[in-house]
Structure 1
Amino acid sequence: MSQLPPDAEPPLANALQNQLAVFQALIEYSSDVIIISDENGIERYVSPSVTRVLGYQPEELLGCSQYLRHHPDDRDRVRDIFFGLVRSRSTTPISFTWRFLHKDGSWRWIEATASNQLDNPLVRGIILNFRDVSERKALEARIERDAIRFRAIMEAIQDQIQIFDPTGKLLFANKIPDFLGHPENLNQKQELLWWIHADDRQRVVEEFTRLVSGEVPEVLTQYRIDNPSGPARYVETFASNQIENEAIGGVLANVRDITERKEFEEALRLAKEKAEADALEIERSSLEIRLKNRELKKLNEEKNELLQIVSHDLKNPLYNLQHEARALIDDPTDTAERAQRVLQCADKMLGLINNFLSIHAIESGRLFLHPEPVDLQTQLNRLLQTYSEPLKQKRVTVQADWPAGPVRVLADTGATVQVLDNLLSNAIKYSPPGGTVFITLDASGETAQIRVQDEGEGVPLNEVERLFRKFTRLSTKPTAGESSNGLGLAIAKKLVQLQQGDIWYEHHPATDRARPGATFVVELPLYNSDLA
């Protein structure tokens, strides 16, 4: 490879340095942010412009996922888009928008273009170029609201709203009487305002001419419209000169049919009131019927689910109780082990009944919570002690990670313990023998998050939306035949929401570990002693 003469190297080096300086300046002062993430969503590079756009220093975003900084309503969608791009290995850029948490606590709309450069040896990552489009989003939303409002107003207005050019040509109409046909029909004849009754037309044409010429700014007039299929109709029109108004550009006319008002004004008022009342009553009755049918359908579905659970989850333990009782009668000496099995059956039945009572109390509004400072470490340690035997039997270990000091939340102790007990019980049920359950506790801002993660099969994505519904039975089963009645997570979600918290499921792609596992996160408000 040939080399440049010595006297040519400094200019080349200077040129490269100048180009590098220009590139760095563009990156630093650009209104766009450039981020490079690895295939797991961990940020490897964040351009300095992120400080102007989102308020963070690049170091605050490096080496971590931004999942929790995404708006809860956008998290799963953005995650699916990102990992879909990772899996596709397509280099075709894709664009999408979501809401990102600004450092000042506000949500900002972000418009991003993502390019998969994982196979590019110079990048080996996902390049994300984004900018703050909050103002544009707000403007678009406002324009859309205005357009919807305009259409709704035009559809709701009983009057006819019409716009004519100075020659009398119809430019716009929200509605036209049926006997006049399509709006375009009004422009087919050369005669000005030809549809007006002959006895009134000359007067109205003169009023229109005076209005267009600017002699008068507005006109209020009444006239008849020819009706080929029946008697002439009386209308009242208020028109104003809006020719110089760029938004209208013509004569704006508000046309109202006053035929019935002229002939039977009082009778029409009474009939209209009665018709409106009847329509309202019919609509109300129809709505009540639809609501009752929906409620009955829901109750019938819940009844069927309840019968199925009773026939299975209560009948089997009762059969076992009968079996153990007969065995004790036949052999009274073998009591300890059989008594233990009797106790296990009774515990299953009692747990199921307690779940029924809990969900009923919550839905009927008869559950009253008493918020108080709750030490999460203490409650988690107590729960782990109660599960020492099941953990030992399945050879499942627990790896806990939480702060040394206490983390207190403002919550109801019993409800919080019930939620944590459900998550820990599920993690043990769905963990493979010899697996590990991970429990982490983190406090930041005004909330505390408890994350419980197992190494089981996880929940299929097409079943995630049903996780927190009553009587949900998933395809994933407990690994040691443990029972599950499909009420635990439904109760947990309702209890968390009653305490101004949140609970959700995090899906892990199968590439993350040998098993995808299941992770549930509970978020509760921190206890603030200064406000107590």
Structure 2
Amino acid sequence: MNLESSQKRQLMLNDFISSFFFDNSEEIFIVLDKELKFKEVNKKFLNLLSFQFEEIQGRMAMEFIHQEDSPRIQQLITSPLDDSKASIVFRFISKEGKFIFLESKFHKVSDFTLIIAEDVTKRKEVQEELRTRNRELEEEKAKFTEILENIGDGIIGINDQGEIIFVNPQVIILLGFNENELLGKMLVQTIKLINDRGSEIPIQQRPVHNALLAKKKVTENKFSYLKKDGKVLPVSITATPIILHELIVGGVVVFRDITREREVDRMKTEFISLASHQLRTPLSAMKWFTELVLDDSENLTEEQRKLIQNVYQSNERMIELVNALLNISRIESGRIIIDPKPTDLALLVKEVIQELQPRVDEKNQHLGVSVIEVLPKINIDPKLIRHVYMNLLTNAIKYTQPGGEIVVVISSTDNEIISQVYDNGYGIPEKQQKQVFEKFFRADNIIKIETDGSGLGLYLTKAIVESSGGKIWFKSESGRGTTFWFSLLRSGSISQKGMVSIDDRMV
């Protein structure tokens, strides 16, 4: 009797342990009878599908399985089960009609089937989301590839070391290289960039170098690529850094053939030069005749003298415009002479100020000069740099109110001599500052105050500075003034043979 009692207690304990494990396991347990009806399920299954056991007990399991999965389940259960392989993912339908993905293993025991499963719904949703995202990415990649292969511009991708990692077909067409000659090679060493004189552009001045250094897009249209066959291809280049987590991981260089644009510009320059030359004779005649009349002004009435004076001043403005157009055409056509000579910049500035002093006095302005240190003479073309100082100071005087302040500062670094022209005048509106060095640009706030002006001075000034091997930049605030800086290399300018000097003036 004691033995039977002990065996019963053991059986009860085993049943309790089995029942506890069955209902509290993290896994899902489903027991089907030989007719594939629900015989037993644990709490995990009921909670997951939101059923009470009474609602499914004795019902066919296939009623709750997605119809697309039913044939596979039916075949799996009715076939001899190999426990090592009988694993499948299928969908149960919850009470709310949701699909619950179960990764299940089937075990056939006597006349019933045990299914041990794990809820993988979230995993499947993530997988589906990833598949959708990958499909979208593939579609985007296909579109992007199609664009890259058919766009008219050449596109070069580089890594953070400057090695070429991608070229589109247009690069091959425009430059004549094949893909194997470019990929894996250093961009700056493989594709030569030259200026209009045929000299190779140093790495420090190449747009892609400046873009990666400044971490911003750089655009340049003054240079040309040297094709594989040695021919020159004028290009407009846009270099953009690729930045990831504030680190530069590479860059993209987009370029297009601007041979046609260069030819049109050349034709326009030639036309302007021709038209300007044709205007010289009548303007010169008008200048002489009006001067003769004004010299004999005692025979004129006051009204006649004023009218002739207006004619003379208008003619002078036309002469100034024609001279500016001629100078621009000379620089753009490469006909300008650059004749470097050892020059004392401080003395050159003082000579310009002396010439402009009457205008300064007329507006009761204060004009000061500060030379930070004793500067060595620099080998530049004094006529060209004189024009730069003259234009910057003329603008400062013209666009600074009476009683204003103008300061010229000359300083130096190890490699450069830097000139600064400051005024506390009208300033340049921020929204228009990108246009400052463009032809014929005049700021909106200035047109209302000073009607005279061609908008060519700063364009010409920039051209002179850059042709002299220097750089020019500025900072301005509307209503508070403007500061222009330009730098010249201590090593001086490179001599250039030409046909005319920028100082050719009409008499």
In the superposition, the TM-score normalised over structure 2's length comes to: 0.41
Higher relative contact order (CA 8 A, sep 6+): 2
